[in-house]
Structure 1
Amino acid sequence: MAKDILVEIGLEELPARFVDDAEKQLLQNTQTWLKEQRINYETIASFSTPRRLAVEISGVAESQQSVREEVKGPAEKIAKDENGEWTKAAIGFSKGQGKTVDDIYTKDVKGTSYIFVENQVIGKDTQELLPAFKGIIESISFPKNMRWAEQSLRYARPVRWIVALFGDEVIPFEIAGVKTGNKTYGHRFLGDEVTLTSPANYVRALEEQYVIADPQRRQQLIADGLADLEDEHGFQIPEDHELLQEVRNLVEYPTVFTGSFDSAYLNLPEDVLTTSMKEHQRYFPVKDTNDKLLPYFVSVRNGDDHAIETVKKGNEKVLRARLSDAQFFFEEDQKQTIDYYLNKLERIVFQEKLGTISDKVKRIRKITEQLSQWLALDGKVQADAARAAEICKFDLPTNMVNEFTNLQGIIGETYALNAGENKEVAHAIAEHYLPVQADGKLPETREGAMVSLADKLDTIVGCIEAGLIPSGSHDPYGLRRQAIGLLRILHERNWNMTVESLLELAQSLYLDTGIEQSDQEKAGTELDQFFKQRAAYLLKSVTAGQDIIQAVLHDDIGVMAYTMAKAEELSKQRNNPEFTPIQEALVRTLNLAGKTERFKIDPAMFQTASEKELYDALQETKEAFRHTNEQQDAHQALQQLGRLAQPIHAFFDQNMVMSDDAALRENRLSLVNNIAALIRSYADLSVIEWKQQFA
């Protein structure tokens, strides 16, 4: 008869950002364990609150599935003697499996015959296996683990209780000095101890003690509460899914309420107000129907609505103190000039091997100026970009950024406008931090995009030059995210500059600083590999397979937008039967290339018309291909290479390339090398798995 299982881990309050992933791990690890143990079940559900992680499994079989397994023994030549009789090795093998030699059969494995027997593994009782569930709980990892008191277990927070039930029976095990039982606990202030008699009663029993165990239901209750307040007051609460998820993981029993603050604070920049509310207090800002911020906020209480007015006043008092501080910082900051803050950057270290923030800003400006020249921008854009680069970090020493670190750049834009900078310069200061996440919003202006690219390039090259290479999850300077952002900007802007030229530019600036660097050649190789890994990540976004990624990145990354376009084009042609003759000709050429190092062709040595025709086609194609390549037209460039297909086929059909005549062979191979070099300047087509071949 099937039974239900409930396992709940009771903890001190987990950080909100830990909860979802821990619940996911518990669910997935449980599913994997059940599959490995061959334990059948009907449904499985997971639950989480700040104080608990739980999994409920219904319809669990009372025993494992029995299975038949094949056991491999020694090779037949060892198992039998010269007379074909079973040896001691065979007899011992069969006996060890509880069988006799009559149960032995042979099978071929990779060209060698082995002996086998078949066993039936009888499933154990599920109840006998369940204490091993302890390992699932202990395997949950957190972004930050701690050891508590004298316990050896490293966990995010101390374990306070463990519920483990199989039907109405307790599954016995112990973790960190806590033994399993059938008692759980309701809301810390509103609930009581609960004795569970059945896993099926879990959700209802907790709700009676002011705990909503299902995080999705808590989230929906909060969303419904926000909607009710919008209807009641006629204002708008901007959708913020991340904040909603975070708040649901801060409470066990949500009650939504609204509060207010002095409208005089609306004179502060909107980002300051919303940051004070969202980042510091986890409040939802409120706007009118014209998207204008109102002097209200919405919060979520962890509990019922008892004395909600008192709770409201307490929250208003806390927010008032924060906004008062912000008002003071805002006014004090603007008593100083931009130059004052730039001077302070000289005393702020960027990284001990890479100098100060002021040193970094100087490099950012030089890179930005070079980008402006390469892009041939007009004088005003160049001047605005250079000025934005010069002052892009000036807000870092301000009181406001010190208090609200995530407003760096945003505060810079506000203060720059107040100091008389034009809007293009000011906005570039805000934009140069974009994208904040790898897939986040990109800078919208050229000035912002250039300074952003320069800043990221300087950070990445400097850190890798200094040996600060990301490893595993360790990436304190966010180099992976910044590299992806840099490549996305190049792609989005379609800027005709190679990644390699940018790396050389940044490296040259570091060489001029006199800062101690690691081995230059090694650093160059690591930079190349690092950016190719990030480029490969982005190429997957255009559904490029690994083979196509390898084809377009076989040499340099080059111009990112063009490389992406080539990957898209090759992905389209992979399954195009009409492209087959072209692909076969080009790949055949690539496969034969490299048989000689020679590239010089002597047309006087041609012996057949097909040799001359291919040579002439190569000369014509070179020029047309060069033009389409410069235009970065991936489709037309591949079409130009396709013009060589027919003369290539004729050349291979009518000539013995590997002639016994050494001079003739070298000349023909030189012709092949020249064509292969042209093809590889587009992509290494030989590494692509051309699907139509297997149709």
Structure 2
Amino acid sequence: MKKTNVLFEIGLEEMPARFLADAEKQLKSKTMEWLHSIRLSYQAIQTFATPRRLAILIKEVDGKQPDLEEEAKGPAKKIAMDDEGNWSKAAIGFTKGQGRSVEDIYFKEINGTEYAHVHRFTEGKSASELLPKFKDVILSLTFPKNMRWSTGSLRFIRPIRWLVALNDEAIIPFEIAGVETSNYTYGHRFLGDKVTIKDAISYQQTLADQFVVARSEDRKASITAQMNELQQLNNWVIPADADLLEEVSQLVEYPTVFSGSFSEEFLIVPEEALITSMKEHQRYFPVLSGEGKLLPHFIAVRNGNDQNIDTVARGNEKVLSARLSDAMFFYQEDKKQSIEKNMLKLERMVFQESLGTIADKVSRVITITEKIAELLGLDDSLKTQAQRAAAISKFDLVTNMVNEFTNLQGIMGEKYARIAGEEEAVAIAINEHYMPRYANDQLPESTIGSIVSIADKLDTIVGCIAVGIIPSGSQDPYALRRQAMGVIQIVEKQNWSITIEALLTLVENLFQGLGLAKDDIKIVEQNVLTFFKARAAYLIRSEEIEQDIVDAVLANGIGQISNTIAKAKYLTNRRADPTFKPVQEALVRVIKLAKKGKDKGVDVSLFENEEEKVLYTVLQEVKKPYLKKLQENNFEQAIELLAKLVEPIDSFFEHTMVMTEDVEKKENRISLLNKIAKLVLSFADLSEVEWKQQFTS
């Protein structure tokens, strides 16, 4: 069977760079699904994406579908034939639907009943007959934003200007929005021409000859190589920035890297502002010295060759100079404003309709900060610094620089606070209180920064949930999930000996006192705890802990998160240990039976056998040392102490009927079991842990 190479290209007006990667991924996955659905085999698929095109090359495509031979089941024999052996309408209709006749029927017995069957043969269609249906794949592509053009009804990312569809050198015929498929494409908008593609396999080289690097990975590699040359030539350091590299590579079809310079006078502006201006406004890469100091140079990428590159560089320098002049103006103006004056402006900035202004939020954060500081037992000096950091944590939101570059919030706050003469610890905390700003971002280092960060995040999370804003699906406008994860991660990093529940309670009490909660406070508390437990579970799973262990350690709350994670790791190591199995089984039996009642206190005078007395005595012996070891996070010795209960527990169950008809004795025995269960559950709910046996060959 002859195999061919198939090419499809969608030529478009320039697409937004941020949409290209997903569009290319969609094109590949939808094409693979389509080929599977039409039963057309192939060897490999290669995709291409530039601002002006999406394309896919399908290599070694079969010339036709495989033929199909199937067995079709029809009606039961008693329905297919009458008593005289004549074929019924049901039998005739069945065979007609299969493209056969009643002469082709044979019977097969299934579960004691005979059914009519026929063999059905379907000849495979040729690839040339199937390939025009690729039009449906193109139309199935989705984008965050679409547009219509001319008088047509099609909505697509950008107007379609040309379509290429080739089966080797033969054109595959179809049309979309009045554009018919052909074998010609367009090269670089300024350097290339309209060009005929000889055959599908020559697509990439044809575009290369027309100044188009069709693969985004090749463009990234070219940009990186050219930047490395500039680094070595000038002894510069160009910081790696995967996101910016990705964006720039999707803005060009033929990348040429060049450098430019700006006046050293701009270096008095904080380098974060200069770098942000270069990256966000101009898509330039900053240049650093070997010591990490910002230099008055930049790296840019041209969509074209190196002809007149010096002129291009000068033009970019003029544009950047104007941008940096704005940044310098903002910086100079911001320095003229006092922190106190900026704080007053926060009274006019709404945080959330039901939760008031940013100034209202700051007031709550101050209170939460004070309570956390008390909970941690900080000295008066640190408390004062923490309160000051909380009080001025948001003042930079009204500065010109943050208004222009929102990602500099906190960063500029730190710098302006330092200029205003604030204590260094306070200035640092203003920046740190926004951390982590995104997944895998750095966490605050200082105690003060950590406290204010947690206070700010808890105010947002509890406040939003209290007024009914609970994330669902992908909807999380206030980034509550990320902020909750940040709270847990900060507490873990700082290794504070406070529980997550204690932090939540102090914030919930604040909102209850202010009367801001729309729901009953008990409902708010439950919703907040459930929300945080989901984030804690996610964090523990990231430590390669399985779900049953996660459920076990979180059964009675999150607790001190570092301890909870340590417990999970300990259980993970012990779950396959044969010596741990009898301990777990005995303790789990206690936990399950303890649920039959409550601890109403143990009356030793009601014991009627020696086994009850022994179990109670051993419990009294291990209780205090067990809790002490648990408090010291010595889980190994804590479990060893619980293991001393195993033999007395087994003897107890062997000689004692717990669920006796004597109600008084039954409740006394359940109370005894509850006291043991309470000790076990203070470590973890072992009934959630699945025993895992290890087999060796």
Scaled by the length of structure 1, the TM-score of the pair is 0.92
Question: CA–CA distance in 1 between the matches of 2:620 and 2:177?
Answer: 77
CA distance in 2, matches of 1:608, 1:77: 72
Letter in 2 for 1:569: Y
C-alpha contact (below 8 Å) 2:3/2:62 kept by paired residues: yes
Please list, as runs of the form range in 1=range in 2, the aligned pairs for 1:224-235 lying within 5 A after superposition.
224-235=225-236
* TM-superposed deviation, 1:103: 4.3
Unaligned runs of 5+ in 1: none
| Secondary structure of the structure 1 residue equivalent to 2:295 | strand
Seen in structure 2, the aligned counterparts of structure 1 residues 128 and 533 have a Cα distance that, compared at 3 Å, is farther
Show the counterpart of 1:578: 579
Matched residue count: 692
Deviations 1:241-264 (A, max 9, x none): 222122111111000101000011
Distance 1:117 1:9, change over 3 A: same
Query: Contact 2:4/2:59 (CA < 8 Å) preserved in 1?
Result: yes
Cα pair distance change 1:195/1:456, threshold 3 Å: same
Are the equivalent residues in 2 in contact too, given 1:657–1:668 (CA < 8 A)?
yes
Which amino acid letter does the alignment assign opposite residue 529 of structure 1?
T
Evaluate the alpha carbon distance shift between residue 320 and residue 628 of structure 1 in structure 2; reply closer, same or farther with a 3 A threshold: same
Tell me, in whole angstroms, the C-alpha distance in 2 between the residues paired with 1:448 and 1:106. Answer: 74
* Number of the residue aligned with 1:589: 590
Partner of residue 124, structure 1? 125
Distance 1:609 1:334, change over 3 A: same
Give me the whole-angstrom Cα distance separating, in 2, the residues matched to 1:550 and 1:71: 49
- Partners of 2:653 and 2:545 lie apart in 1 by 31
Are 1:91 and 1:101, in contact at CA under 8 Å, matched by a contact in 2? no
After superposition, residues 35-434 of structure 1 pair within 5 angstroms as 35-66=36-67, 97=98, 98=100, 102-106=106-110, 122-148=123-149, 151-434=152-435
Alpha-carbon distance between aligned partners in 1 of 2:401 and 2:381, rounded to the nearest angstrom: 31
- C-alpha contact 2:107 2:115 (8 A) present in aligned 1: no
- Mapped to 1, the partners of 2:88 and 2:694 lie a distance apart of 50
Mapped pair 1:553 → 2:554: yes
Offset, 1:528: 2.6
Partners of 2:414 and 2:431 within 8 A in 1: yes
Distance 2:577 2:593 in 1: 24
Alignment correspondent of 1:452: 453
| Counterpart residue identity of residue 315, structure 1 | N
Letter in 2 for 1:239: A
8 Å CA contact retained: 2:462, 2:528: yes
Q: Structure 1 682/315 Cα, relative in aligned 2: closer, same or farther at 3 Å?
A: same
User: Structure 1's 681 and 268: CA in aligned 2 closer, same or farther, altered over 3 A?
Assistant: same
- For residues 114 and 422 of structure 1, the distance between their equivalents in structure 2, rounded to whole angstroms, comes to 89
Question: Does structure 2 conserve the Cα–Cα contact (< 8 Å) formed by 1:353 and 1:516?
Answer: no
Shift of 1:81: 12
Alpha-carbon offset, residue 675 of structure 1: 2.5
Task: Give unmatched runs, 5+ long, in structure 2.
Answer: none
Cα distance change of structure 1 residues 604 and 151 upon mapping to structure 2, 3 Å threshold: farther
1:163 aligned counterpart, secondary structure: strand
Other structure's SS at 1:238 match: coil
Deviates more, 1:594-603 or 1:560-569: 594-603
The letter of the residue matching 1:642 is: A
3-state SS of the aligned residue for 2:555?
coil
CA distance in 1, matches of 2:326, 2:647: 76
What CA RMSD, in Å, does the superposition of the two structures yield over aligned residues? 3.1
Distance 1:88 1:689, change over 3 A: farther
Is the CA contact 1:86–1:101 (under 8 Å) kept in the aligned structure 2?
A: no
Please say if residues 431 and 448 of structure 1, whose CA atoms lie closer than 8 Å, have aligned partners that are also in contact: yes
Deviation by residue 1:484-520 (Cα, 9 ceiling, x = unmatched):
1111112222222222222222222223334463454
CA distance in 1, matches of 2:176, 2:533: 45
* Contact 1:105–1:115 (8 Å) recurs in 2: no
Q: Do the aligned partners of residues 330 and 692 (structure 1) sit closer, same or farther apart at CA in structure 2, a change above 3 Å counting?
A: same
Deviation, 1:619, is 2.6
Return closer, same or farther for 1:42/1:80 CA change in 2, 3 Å cut-off: same
Q: 1:625 to 1:72 in 2, by over 3 A?
A: farther
SS in 2 for 1:377: coil
Q: 1:133 to 1:312 in 2, by over 3 A?
A: same
Q: How far did residue 361 of structure 1 move? A: 0.8
State the alpha-carbon separation in 2 of the partners of residues 579 and 417 from structure 1: 57
1:459–1:117 CA distance, 2 compared to 1 (3 A)? farther
In 1: Cα distance, 2:507 partner to 2:75 partner? 62
Matched residue, 2:533:
532
Taking a change above 3 Å as real, the CA distance of residues 332 and 576 of structure 1, as seen in their structure-2 partners, is same
Q: How far did residue 45 of structure 1 move?
A: 1.3
Which stretch has the larger CA shift, 234-243 or 287-296?
234-243
Cα displacement string for residues 556-584 of structure 1 (whole angstroms, at most 9, x for unaligned residues): 22222222222222222222222211122
Whole-Å Cα distance in 2 between the matches of residues 88 and 619 of structure 1? Answer: 84
Q: Is the 8 A contact 1:218 1:248 kept in 2?
A: yes
Cα 1:602–1:126 change in 2 (3 A) is farther
8 Å contact from structure 2 (residues 9, 54) kept in 1: yes
Structure 1 residues 600-621: Cα deviation after superposition (integer angstroms, max 9, x where no partner) = 3332233333322222232333
Q: Counterparts of 1:234 and 1:326 in 2: how far apart (Å)? A: 27
CA distance in 2, matches of 1:624, 1:689: 27
Q: What percentage of residue pairs aligned between the two structures are identical?
A: 52
Query: In structure 2, how many angstroms separate the alpha carbons of the residues matched to 1:588 and 1:150?
Result: 74
**Within 2, Cα distance between the matches of 1:306 and 1:507?**
65
8 A Cα contact 2:105 2:117, kept in partner: no
18-27 or 152-161: bigger deviation? 152-161
Deviations along 1:63-118, one digit per CA (max 9) or x if unpaired, are 23445667677899999999xx999978976775558663434269xxx9999877
Report the CA distance between 1:466 and its aligned residue.
1.9
Q: Which amino acid is the alignment partner of residue 541 of structure 1? A: S
Larger displacement relative to structure 2 (681-690 or 432-441) = 681-690
Pair 244,178 (structure 1): closer, same or farther in 2 beyond 3 Å: same
- CA deviations 1:7-29 (Å, max 9, x no partner) are 22222222222221221222222
CA shift at 1:537, angstroms?
1.6
**Stretch of structure 1 that moved more, 379-388 or 582-591:** 582-591
Tell me the CA shift for residue 447 of structure 1.
1.1
| Mapping of residues 608-647 of structure 1, within 5 Å | 608-647=609-648
Q: Equivalent residue of 1:60, what SS?
A: strand
Query: For residue 462 of structure 1, what is the aligned residue in structure 2?
Result: 463
Partner of 2:671: 670
